Amino acid sequence: MQRYYFDHNATTPVSPEVFAAMAPVMTEVYGNASSIHHFGQDARRMLDAARREVAEMIGARAEEIIFTSGGTEADNLALFAAGGEGHTITAAAEHPAVLEACVQLSNSTVVPVDGKGVVNPDDIRRAIQPDTRLISVMHVNNELGVIQPVDDIAAVARETGVRFHSDGVQAAGRIPVDVAGMDFYSISAHKIYGPKGVGALFVRKGTGVHPRLFGGPHERKIRAGTENVAGAVGMGRAAQWVRKEGAEDAARQGVMRDRLEKGILQRVPDAHVNGAGAPRVGNTSNMRFDGIDSEPLLIALDLRGFAVSSGSACSSGATEPSHVLAAIGLNKQQAKSSVRFSLGRSNTAEQVDALIEAVVQVVAQLRKLAPAYA
């Protein structure tokens, strides 16, 4: 049976060019990048080259890139290093790496999003207090694909003297990114066809932060620990691909995403696109199918060879609605009827058409078994 992957927002496969760049590093360039001998300096040169590639992808300078273990650490580093001593503002549809970190902070405010999942910059402005130290609003929502007005929010931050962090994990590689106006920006390698276990935090030069890991002078004394050189090289190669070919492939994915939504909406009654009408990245579609739960839909599609994901998460043994879908006003049943399709480099129009056909058939079958829908 053929299997097709439509869950690229969860993770992407390591691309051939990334694997080719990493393989010799893992076997031949094994020195510690902090060592002064030949082996260490070879590793240092490759680490520095990777840092430049990552910086160029987001319009930063190499010295402003701090390598981390991934997007979660980058988010936490920004929040605790910059916002931990005062009031922090974030939004209701943020990734748990931000929301759960804010729970640990002594003072934070969560502003709402509208029915499309978009943050109103005026709500951010109204939430600012005398001791506000940090605003954290994601660039692209991981479930809806909605693009937040980060430039407008950054302007509010500058006007009020508050530092601004954006989680760009789902933005890099899907839309152009320029960190001008931001103080912190998080990215992750495994969302752009790089390896898992490596990410980066942009920290604007001159922005004071307190380190969260101690033990050595690594990464501008902000993040102690021997650097993952092979992972950084893989991320650098992935960033290089994004700069050279990412825009063209993102446009191709946007065409396919529109084809997917149009095909499903035309053939499946009572189907809806969550976040429709807001600016969205071209690879993501979160769709709701009234009358059925997403879990059996996901299982049925998987049995037919299609990997997609749900807007729900399991907590304490019970399936709870996605906090993102709740934030845009969906009730529990509507949220549990939603599925996310996220396209990537490997997907083709033929795969999209096959997925449409599978969704049409599976939804019809499940609705026959759903008394609520009948």
Any idea which residues carry the catalytic annotation?
314
Q: Residue 286 is inside which H or E element, if any?
A: strand 284-289
- Are the CB atoms for 177 and 59 separated by under 8 Å? yes
Q: How far apart are CA 348 and CA 51, in angstroms?
A: 32
- Are the CB atoms for 302 and 318 separated by under 8 Å? no
> Which residue in 125, 46, 126, 133 sits closest to 84, CA to CA?
133
> Which residue in 87, 99, 63, 104 sits closest to 222, CA to CA?
63
Tokens of residue 24, six digits: 């010799």
- Classified as helix, coil or strand, 255 is helix
- Are the CB atoms for 191 and 169 separated by under 8 Å? yes
Q: How far apart are CA 139 and CA 271, in angstroms?
A: 27
Beta-bridged to residue 272, according to DSSP, are: 288
Question: What is the DSSP secondary-structure string of 288-303?
Answer: EETTS-HHHHHHHHHH
